[in-house]
Structure 1
Amino acid sequence: METTKSIGSPVLQYLAAASGNLAIVSDGMHYGWPSPTLGQILNNSNSTLCITNEEGALMAVMPLLGAVLGALTAANIVDYFGRKRTIIATALPFFLTWIMIAFAKTARVLYIARFFAGIADGVTFTVVPMYIGEISDAKVRGLLGSSCSVTWIAGFLLINIIGSYLSISTTALVSSIVPVIALLTFIWMPESPYYLIMRNRMQEAKESLRKFRKVHDVDDEIERIENSIQTESKSKGNFLDLFLVKSNRKALIIVAGLRGFQQFSGTTAITFYAQTIFKEAGDDISHHHASMIYFSIQLLITIISSFIVDRTGRKPLLMISMTGSAFALFIEGTYFYIERQTNIDTSSFSFLPVVALMGFVIIFSIGMQSIPILMLGELFPTSVKAYALCFADVYYSLVATIASVFLQWSKDTYGMHVPFYGFTIFSLIGLIFIIFCVPETKGKSLEEIQQYLRGQRHDHSKCNKEECVKV
């Protein structure tokens, strides 16, 4: 069922999403920075710094800790300052932290820089998905919402390429250009019409929607958004509504499950230690080149997923993704177990861990890489969306930190096979969760999704069977 009028042109929606996502590119570069850099610092290679494995592990997860504070900050300012100004504000800390890294002489400076980068990350991943979800027409929201994951991975790939060939200082200086470009492009984009209506700036909301939809008559959509916001505002939109309102609670469980199983399948932990894992795999291919191939494939498949998600739906891609991921992770763990724990000669199969890891990134990127972030912008009403995305980002930081520490600790204590077997088990549990708990949001407006979560049925004569299934 489609309640909105056909869009005249989604071009400005694409441009606004692309510009806003430059903040996420910079964020991905900060997160991916340890992959090409940690080896240099630990080995004191091409670096004036030298730190221990424990210090390196702490440095890797510092952005996750800062993200908690950033998400809490964003939740309290985004409905006051607006989506646009909040996104613009992230350019400054992203820029300054790269400058700090470029001239760092001690590990403590790196800790501080990466912690502040994490604060900017918490703001970015709270506000950018919110902004994109609110400006996007239902027909293209899957594509644009998935772009957050695409650009995040692009940041990982970019920093792995730059960091593999340049010094730590030069890499940081080059990377500082990205937030500057983000600032100079996003400043021209319109504010979210949802936010403008929340602030009773109706004329500005109409102008914003006209620009995004490329049609003059937007009265019906404005009225629909206004009615939705007025209905939601009756609950006052406080943090406890996430848990006390049944539909919000249901959405929170879905998001927590998806983001939790996304991280405990190992994706962020593997990206932190990509080059280390490839180095331990010991194949003939350079671990620098292997990691670049890894992130290139991840980027390509996530782009493909973004283009097909509005046709195939969210749930089928999630199920395929988790099934294949479990299989690939099991093969990876089994190889490392046989190689390190038995006397079996694995020299004829030295290619297997690289192939299995590539297989993992392909199948994982089909669904689990981008769709959980996409659904963050879909499942929550405007009245609690800031709190919901804040909670989701804090939760993500927690589970990603645990998964990363688990990989490092279990690898050092028991061997590389243990974390991969653990990730396999969580992937299988995640598949069961998706089958029984995750709804399909394909083709639904944000208002229809709220009806869906509240258990309200649509008129079956006006929509197709797939869209009318009750949660």
Structure 2
Amino acid sequence: MGKLHQIHTSISCSFSSLLAGLLYVWPSYTLELFKDSHTTLLTAPMTDVESSLLGSLPPLGAMVGTALTGVVIGKFGRQRGGMLLGLPFVVSWAMINFSSTSTMILIGRFIGGIGCGPAFVYGPMYISEIAEKSIRGTLASVPITLYCIGIQMSYILGWYLTYRYVVWMNLACSVLGVALLMTVTESPVYLLRQNREEDARLAIAHYRGESPKSKIVLEELSQLKQQITPAVELIVMNIEDNPNTEEAEKEKLNTDDESPEMKTTMSSLKLLFLSPSSRRGFIVVGLCLVLQVLMGVLPVQVYAKQIFTQAAPSLSSNFCCVMLAMVLLVGSLSSLVMADKFGRKFLLVTSSILVALCVSSMGIFLQTGIVPPWVTAVLILVYCCSFMLGAGSIPFVLIGECFMPEVQSLATVLLIELAWLSNFSIVGVFPFMIKYIGIHGSFYTFACCAVSNSFISYFLVPETKGLTKDQIQEKLLRRKK
């Protein structure tokens, strides 16, 4: 039962990722309804600037939501905090449902983005706190998988339902997301930080399917208590004059030698950037996240219908969009299976190389027109599937694995903020890329980023498969591959 409880909580806390998928690709099939003066559902058609904001505002709102995540879940806990963080989705779709002007639609999109922000912070964090090592990688990929399911649902709803029914379905899913979190058990990490040791022991027993007095539960409780105590890693600054001190020992937690004053004054921000392992983990994962975004899959999702219309005009753009979401899901599910089998680094490198080959080929074919349009459409699908095999999912796994509990929340928030800023930039710039360098030039740019990601993944990313957080910290410190 323990693993079932972990799966249930992983799905519930990651449901906001599905809602983010629904929100993000909505413009793909509604933009034409807003822009065309003959079909617009608004009081006036959207301008080009408003049309651009329709796709790019959610990442901007997500930056606000991400900044709020740590405060909310720190004050209210993972369960109640998650419910609060899911409310912007409800407000967003309610506003869109009752709006008839571009301004209100855009405000609704921005508010929805505030809900998207926590989606990829809160889920991985919660999962990393309740998942056992043997299935940690698999469960950590649940948020990105649900995101793909949300995209699939949105494209299908947009194909078969009218505008109003799509909005109602999205609103219903948003309410369901809040309701699901009422059924989960609080994170033992949060409970320990609130000095609720007995509740933490019961939570561990719940997630491991063991008796609260069992050896497994008591050992894990003891390990968590040691991890949550501020690391003595900062003491490295005071003992650097001792040349016999091993680097690995500077990373260890040693609460016996630590004064209460140091425990209370130690800053997470200082620990993140003064700790060699945390600093290196932050830089490496940050590079992977930025390059992941610059590989261009998000703009392809947001403008999928328009891209397929241009790349393969003889094919149904609605059908191609649904196929796109399907291959994203297949790639994500494949990543779920392979994350704990082949390792994180292998998937990152392989995925990036495949993406580079696909997008460079698409650029050549679109520029020269030497192949039938359906070949280009198929390559777009292969490109997205290859992306999800590793480059699209593994960085989020690494976020949950590469940091100590003392800096996990802060590092996660900062990294996701960086990713949202990159998302906002690429979605906003993409229409201008197509205008000035063409769609083929855009794909060449994505190929360069994919090649860069493959090199960084091979040379800098540590293999974390099957390792505890302490082992990962030592590996980062010693710069092992």
* Aligned equivalents of 2:474, 2:193: Cα separation in 1: 20
Match of 2:158 in 1: 163
Match of 2:182 in 1: 187
User: Is 1:298 matched up with 2:328?
Assistant: yes
Unaligned runs of 5+ in 1: 1-7, 340-345, 456-468
Match of 2:306 in 1: 276
Match of 1:199 in 2: 194
Conserved 8 A contact 1:278-1:354 = yes
User: Is 1:81 matched up with 2:76?
Assistant: yes
* Aligned equivalents of 1:155, 1:69: Cα separation in 2: 22
* Aligned equivalents of 2:72, 2:373: Cα separation in 1: 52
Name the amino acid aligned to 2:266: K
TM-score (norm 1): 0.91
User: Is 1:363 matched up with 2:354?
Assistant: no
- Structure 1 residue 351 displacement after superposition: 1.5
User: Is 1:226 matched up with 2:225?
Assistant: yes
- Structure 1 residue 358 displacement after superposition: 1.2
* Aligned equivalents of 1:163, 1:285: Cα separation in 2: 17
- Which range moves more in the overlay, 128-137 or 17-26? 17-26
- Which range moves more in the overlay, 167-176 or 262-271? 167-176
* Deviation string, structure 1 residues 312-362 (Cα, Å, up to 9, x no partner): 1111111110000001000111122124xxxxxx4x522221011011012
* Aligned equivalents of 2:223, 2:67: Cα separation in 1: 30
Match of 1:264 in 2: 294
For the residue of structure 1 that corresponds to 2:195, the secondary structure is: coil
Match of 1:39 in 2: 32
* Aligned equivalents of 2:135, 2:39: Cα separation in 1: 46
- Structure 1 residue 404 displacement after superposition: 1.7
Match of 1:289 in 2: 319
* Aligned equivalents of 1:130, 1:367: Cα separation in 2: 19
Conserved 8 A contact 2:57-2:113 = yes
* Aligned equivalents of 1:35, 1:237: Cα separation in 2: 44
For the residue of structure 2 that corresponds to 1:311, the secondary structure is: coil
Match of 2:203 in 1: 208
Conserved 8 A contact 1:47-1:167 = no
* Aligned equivalents of 2:418, 2:334: Cα separation in 1: 28
* Aligned equivalents of 1:282, 1:24: Cα separation in 2: 30
* Aligned equivalents of 1:169, 1:91: Cα separation in 2: 22
Residues 142-181 of structure 1: pairs in structure 2 closer than 5 A: 142-181=137-176
Match of 1:136 in 2: 131
TM-score (norm 2): 0.89
Percent identity, aligned pairs only, is 27
Conserved 8 A contact 2:290-2:419 = yes
Name the amino acid aligned to 2:373: S
For the residue of structure 1 that corresponds to 2:480, the secondary structure is: coil
Residues 46-85 of structure 1: pairs in structure 2 closer than 5 A: 46-49=39-42, 50-85=45-80
* Aligned equivalents of 1:373, 1:70: Cα separation in 2: 17
Find 2:337's aligned residue among 307, 312, 326: 307
Match of 2:13 in 1: 20
* Aligned equivalents of 1:356, 1:127: Cα separation in 2: 33
Residues 219 and 358 from structure 1, CA distance in 2 versus in 1: closer, same or farther, beyond 3 angstroms?
same
Match of 2:480 in 1: 470
Match of 2:359 in 1: 329
Conserved 8 A contact 2:69-2:85 = no
Name the amino acid aligned to 1:168: Y
Residues 300 and 417 from structure 1, CA distance in 2 versus in 1: closer, same or farther, beyond 3 angstroms?
same
Match of 1:114 in 2: 109
* Aligned equivalents of 2:266, 2:72: Cα separation in 1: 16
For the residue of structure 1 that corresponds to 2:183, the secondary structure is: coil
* Deviation string, structure 1 residues 125-146 (Cα, Å, up to 9, x no partner): 2211100111000110111000
Name the amino acid aligned to 2:480: K
For the residue of structure 2 that corresponds to 1:454, the secondary structure is: helix
Name the amino acid aligned to 1:121: C
Residues 232 and 179 from structure 1, CA distance in 2 versus in 1: closer, same or farther, beyond 3 angstroms?
farther
For the residue of structure 1 that corresponds to 2:339, the secondary structure is: helix
Corresponding residue pairs, total = 444
Unaligned runs of 5+ in 2: 233-262
* Deviation string, structure 1 residues 137-157 (Cα, Å, up to 9, x no partner): 011011100011100111111
Name the amino acid aligned to 2:339: V
- Structure 1 residue 46 displacement after superposition: 4.7
- Which range moves more in the overlay, 187-196 or 85-94? 85-94
* Deviation string, structure 1 residues 428-457 (Cα, Å, up to 9, x no partner): 1111111111011101123332333333xx
- Structure 1 residue 44 displacement after superposition: 4.6
For the residue of structure 1 that corresponds to 2:266, the secondary structure is: coil
| Larger helix proportion of the pair | 2
